[in-house]
Amino acid sequence: AQRVTQPEKLLSVFKGAPVELKCNYSYSGSPELFWYVQYSRQRLQLLLRHISRESIKGFTADLNKGETSFHLKKPFAQEEDSAMYYCALRGTSGSARQLTFGSGTQLTVLP
Amino acid sequence: NAGVMQNPRHLVRRRGQEARLRCSPMKGHSHVYWYRQLPEEGLKFMVYLQKENIIDESGMPKERFSAEFPKEGPSILRIQQVVRGDSAAYFCASSPGTGGLNEKLFFGSGTQLSVL
């Protein structure tokens, strides 16, 4: 079975400080990993995915297959980064094609 | 393109009543997914549909829950004889269905179901 674990429900950092949102997964294969974000009163939206190796809004995430992790990082947090962040996994076969979400981490960036 | 539209935004039902949640996918999208988010939990996959077909309902409770995506009109998630435990946010997402690595899901704003 596939599973996504986000160990931190709440995370607070000061503006300008580095931030790391943790995500660990379990899947017997090569999954696709994503980070979704939900800003206050807005829809859930895709932030980034590991296959794109992109940096969005200063955020990056590296897939570490050895540690089965996909932590989200930003070197200098901004107040507008405050949001709910979900890590998600999509398997590559059969019904695993559907996304499995972690329980989310509420990030608050303090002024 | 208005995006994925879900209605109603809030739905209040008494125990034993029926709840109908609607989802209109983005224009040009033929695949719809329903997710449920219980308080303090992440989104849990329920069902994946294409037009007139249920592709995967492995996340759907076996009783009282059903989903459809007719040829015309929105996708409907139907919950019969609701119970307090059904209170949750229900999210719909759609995708074009190309199946490639670049396939993205677009989410609606969700329907908050409250069962009294």
Q: Which residues contact B48 (CB under 8 A, 6 or more apart)?
A: A97, A98, B31, B32, B33, B34, B54, B55, B56, B57
Tell me what pLDDT residue A106 has: 94
Scanning the structure block, which residue is given the tokens 């209170």?
B87
Q: Measured between alpha carbons, how far is A50 from A35 in angstroms, rounded to an integer?
A: 9
DSSP codes joined into one string, A5-68:
E---SEEEEETTS-EEE--EEE-SS--EEEEEEE-TTS--EEEEEGGGT--BTTBEE--BTTTT
A 81-100 near B (Cβ less than 8 A): 86, 95, 97-100
Tell me what pLDDT residue B104 has: 79
Q: Would the pLDDT of B16 be above 80?
A: yes
CB contact under 8 A, A98 and B45: yes
Tell me what pLDDT residue A41 has: 81
Tell me the per-residue pLDDT of B32-68, one tens digit each, with 9 for 90 and over.
999 999 877 778 899 999 988 998 898 999 899 999 9
Q: Measured between alpha carbons, how far is B46 from A85 in angstroms, rounded to an integer?
A: 21
Q: Would the pLDDT of B75 be above 70?
A: yes
Residues of A in contact with B33 (CB under 8 A): 98-99
**B5 at interface of A, judged by CB pairs closer than 8 A:** no
Q: Measured between alpha carbons, how far is A14 from A79 in angstroms, rounded to an integer?
A: 8
Q: Measured between alpha carbons, how far is B41 from B63 in angstroms, rounded to an integer?
A: 22
Tell me the per-residue pLDDT of A33-55, one tens digit each, with 9 for 90 and over.
999 999 988 889 999 988 777 78
Cα angle, residue B74 at apex, residues A90 and B23 outer, rounded to 5°: 50
**B101 at interface of A, judged by CB pairs closer than 8 A:** yes
Give the mean pLDDT of A4-14.
Answer: 95
From A104's Cα to the closest Cα of chain B, the distance in A is: 6
Q: What is the interface size between A and B, counted as CB pairs within 8 Å?
A: 43
Q: Measured between alpha carbons, how far is A72 from B20 in angstroms, rounded to an integer?
A: 37
CB contact under 8 A, A98 and B48: yes
CB contact under 8 A, A103 and B40: yes
> What is the pLDDT confidence band of residue B100, given thresholds at 50, 70 and 90?
low
DSSP codes joined into one string, A85-100:
EEEEEE-SSGGGGSEE
